[in-house]
């Protein structure tokens, strides 16, 4: 259409117009940028058939290209949401209820108001029908000191108070019963099977813990509302701002700031932190104040603030014949739904099953699995977390398949390929590439080190990991990761490598002692990286990324690198210790 517009303006044939690097060139030296010709191109008829450029003629696609913001980020010059300050803005810090959905019974703000820099202390609506107290000040420090000085009596009488120990016991009991049917298979051969695997898997709540905690700047005026936030969910958030502020959508402006990590926490169907920020601006304005307000969450607020990856329990019973072939598999999953109650429920919750809870369980390996699921209710806000349901389903499948291979006395790579058959060439290609590049089965490892293998498909991308690990000071040490990636056409290999490195490290975090959110009497027990650790530089293994060559339409790369890491490490730990890791984080005791 750009070429057609240029040809029309220059009165030449379309084949005489060349398009390259954002510029149109005519036979007599005429030139126009794509931007300059855009309006005219929009008026051209849309062609019925378009011949795309051949892959061999690509100049940028498929080549490693550095990020445009890499230098800004590595030199500290990138402006993130936390760095942004609107002219004349004040800082707000919210005291939220310790139990989700609880309310303020009464509060004493006298000590808070006595702190220099504190402008006002007000009650404000918080997420899930609760209420809290906001301290607005000239800066973050006086606002935080003011909050610390508050005396608040909370009323949690109307909300459930979850305790992790009881929840786990309830989940385990429920997992032993059939749930809503996901896939039916004959389990009659379980009773007489030559070999059996019986396993109960435990997965805790997980916080997203991005390096930049949540923050939001709101300028609520008489004629409209402007918001600055590192949103991952602009359409939802824009609508939520309009609904909460009472303005028409056209009176609302949402500026998307660079976010210092999100992993899903900044993509909430309830727009919880955005709505709360607008509510803060509303009570601030109603109290007679004017100007923008910047709401800042502390690290403790972020860890204790909810919207976690749900906790889950899996119960598996697998029967194998004398040759190690799986002849029956009965499996049940229990956990909260992240989709129920959201706009996605009509599409993604069918017959009582949240599709995200069971994704990755079936469709890859040729096994006769009878799969059911239970959606549990709990007063804990839950959300997708990088790679969503595959965070637990991928772990379960890849450790159980590895265990079955051990029972069958078969190499786990050979066993997987047998179960994949001819219907999953992308899985085989990714696995073969990782195996070949790692030296698995051919290279001798130093004493005390072992191989671990896992692979998983999520977001239409297959990732296979071959890892090398050891046990150091009673804990697993991951030394080396070789990745085989099948994401079809690799648009930017450098970005793919970065995504795999980051996802692998985030996956490693899930195995580390303390990497769990727990609750007691409705209160989250963790509050900072001291008691909710994340993997750090000394934990980073060498990560080699190898991409299967393909010209097919590209698939996802932001999330698929996470699920196979933990099971690959768990499988190596089994070789080293003889113990199967049935829960995350790992417990070698």
Sequence-ordered list of residues with C-beta below 8 angstroms from that of 484, at least 6 positions apart, any chain: 429, 430, 431, 432, 433, 434, 435, 437, 455, 463, 464, 465, 466, 546, 548
Going by the DSSP 8-state scheme, the letter that residue 454 receives in this structure is E
192 and 221: one domain?
no
240 and 379: one domain?
no
* Residue-wise pLDDT tens digits, 28-72: 999 999 999 999 999 999 999 998 888 889 989 999 999 999 999
Residue 60 lies in a domain: no
Residue 345 lies in a domain: yes
151 and 184: one domain?
no
- In a 10 Å sphere around its CB, with 0-12 CB exposed, 13-18 middle and 19+ buried, how is residue 444 labelled? exposed
Residue in 218, 209, 182 with CA at minimum distance from that of residue 92: 218
CB-facing half-sphere around the CA of 361: CA atoms within 13 A: 27
Residue 57 lies in a domain: no
The mean pLDDT value for 409-419 works out to: 98
266 and 370: one domain?
no
Q: Over the Cα atoms of the chain, what is R_g?
A: 27
- pLDDT of amino acid 421: 85
Residue in 315, 310, 301 with CA at minimum distance from that of residue 378: 310
- pLDDT of amino acid 535: 95
Residue 301 lies in a domain: no
225 and 120: one domain?
yes
Residue 139 lies in a domain: yes
* Residue-wise pLDDT tens digits, 77-109: 999 999 999 999 999 999 999 999 999 999 999
370 and 247: one domain?
no
Termini Cα distance of the chain: 66
Q: Determine the longest span between alpha carbons in the chain, in angstroms.
A: 83
- In a 10 Å sphere around its CB, with 0-12 CB exposed, 13-18 middle and 19+ buried, how is residue 48 labelled? exposed
The mean pLDDT value for 542-560 works out to: 97
279 and 312: one domain?
no
Residue 65 lies in a domain: no
19 and 128: one domain?
no
* Residue-wise pLDDT tens digits, 253-302: 999 999 999 999 999 999 999 999 999 999 999 999 999 999 999 999 99
The mean pLDDT value for 187-213 works out to: 97
The residue range of the domain holding 34 is: 2-51
* Residue-wise pLDDT tens digits, 134-173: 999 999 999 999 999 999 999 999 999 999 999 999 999 9
Last residue of one domain, picked from the residues 273, 296, 319: 296
The pair of structure tokens assigned to 402 is 């590895």
Whether 429 and 437 have beta carbons less than 8 Å apart is answered as no
Residue 292 lies in a domain: yes
Residue with tokens 């385990």: 172
* Residue-wise pLDDT tens digits, 101-135: 999 999 999 999 999 999 999 999 999 999 999 99
- pLDDT of amino acid 9: 97
pLDDT exceeds cutoff 90 at 200: yes
Last residue of one domain, picked from the residues 236, 262, 296: 296
227 and 361: one domain?
no
88 and 152: one domain?
yes
pTM: 0.95
Residue 64 lies in a domain: no
192 and 230: one domain?
no
Write the CATH number for 368.
Answer: 3.30.365.10
- Per DSSP bridges, beta strands 103-108 and 151-155 are antiparallel
Residue % of the chain over a pLDDT of 70: 100
315 and 285: one domain?
no
Average pLDDT, the chain: 97
Alpha-helical regions (H) of 380-492: 390-407, 412-420, 425-438
Last residue of one domain, picked from the residues 276, 296, 316: 296
The pair of structure tokens assigned to 332 is 């049940």
The pair of structure tokens assigned to 142 is 């006086």
Q: How many domains does the chain have?
A: 3
CB atoms within 10 A of CB 97: 23
């Amino acid at each position: 259409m750009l070429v057609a517009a240029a040809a029309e303006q220059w009165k030449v044939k379309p084949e005489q117009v060349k398009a390259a690097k954002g510029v149109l060139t005519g036979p007599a030296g005429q030139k126009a940028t794509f931007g300059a010709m855009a309006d005219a191109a929009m008026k051209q008829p849309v062609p019925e058939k378009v011949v795309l450029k051949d892959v061999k003629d690509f100049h940028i696609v498929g080549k490693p290209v550095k990020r445009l913001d890499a230098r800004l980020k590595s030199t500290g010059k990138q402006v993130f949401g936390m760095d942004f300050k609107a002219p004349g803005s004040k800082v707000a810090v919210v005291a939220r209820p310790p139990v989700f959905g609880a309310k303020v019974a009464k509060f004493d703000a006298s000590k808070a108001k006595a702190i220099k820099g504190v402008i006002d202390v007000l009650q404000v609506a918080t997420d899930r029908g609760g209420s809290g107290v906001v301290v607005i000040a000239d800066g973050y420090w006086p606002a935080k000191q003011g909050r610390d000085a508050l005396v608040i009596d909370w009323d949690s009488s109307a909300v459930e108070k979850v305790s992790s120990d009881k929840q786990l016991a309830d989940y385990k009991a429920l997992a032993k019963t059939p749930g809503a049917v996901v896939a039916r298979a004959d389990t009659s051969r379980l009773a007489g099977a030559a070999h059996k695997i019986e396993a109960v898997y435990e997965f805790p709540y997980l916080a997203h813990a991005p390096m930049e905690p949540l923050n939001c700047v709101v300028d609520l005026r008489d004629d409209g509302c402007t918001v600055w936030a590192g949103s991952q969910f602009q359409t939802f958030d824009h609508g939520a701002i309009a609904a909460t502020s009472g303005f028409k959508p056209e009176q609302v402006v949402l500026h998307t700031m660079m976010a210092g990590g999100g992993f899903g926490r900044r993509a909430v169907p309830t727009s919880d932190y955005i709505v709360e920020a607008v509510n803060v601006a509303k009570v601030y304005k109603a109290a007679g104040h004017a100007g923008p307000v910047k709401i800042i969450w502390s690290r403790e607020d972020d860890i204790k603030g909810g919207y976690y990856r749900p906790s889950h329990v899996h119960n598996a019973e697998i029967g194998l014949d004398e040759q190690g072939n799986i002849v029956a598999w009965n499996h049940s999953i229990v956990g909260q739904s992240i989709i129920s109650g959201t706009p996605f429920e009509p599409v993604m919750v069918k017959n009582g099953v949240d599709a995200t809870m069971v994704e990755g369980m079936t469709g890859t390996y040729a096994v006769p699995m009878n799969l059911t699921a239970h959606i549990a209710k709990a007063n804990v806000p839950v959300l997708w977390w990088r790679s969503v349901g595959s965070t637990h389903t991928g772990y379960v499948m890849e450790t159980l398949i590895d265990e079955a291979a051990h029972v069958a006395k078969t190499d786990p790579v050979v066993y997987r390929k047998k179960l994949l058959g001819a219907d999953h060439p992308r899985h085989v290609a990714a696995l073969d590439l990782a195996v070949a590049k790692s030296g698995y089965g051919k290279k001798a490892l130093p004493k005390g080190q072992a191989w671990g293998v896992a692979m998983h498909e999520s977001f239409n991308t297959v990732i296979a990991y071959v890892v090398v690990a050891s046990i150091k000071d009673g804990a697993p040490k991951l030394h080396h990761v070789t990745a085989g990636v099948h994401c079809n056409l690799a648009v930017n290999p450098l970005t793919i490598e970065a995504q795999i490195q980051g996802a692998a490290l985030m996956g490693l975090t899930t195995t580390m002692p303390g990497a769990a959110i727990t609750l007691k009497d409705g209160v989250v027990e963790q509050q900072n990286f001291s008691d909710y650790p994340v993997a750090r530089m000394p934990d980073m293994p060498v990560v080699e990324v190898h991409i299967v060559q393909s010209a097919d339409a590209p698939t996802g790369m932001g999330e698929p690198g996470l699920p196979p890491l933990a099971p690959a490490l768990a499988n190596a730990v089994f070789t080293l210790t003889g113990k199967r890791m049935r829960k995350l984080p790992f417990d070698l005791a």
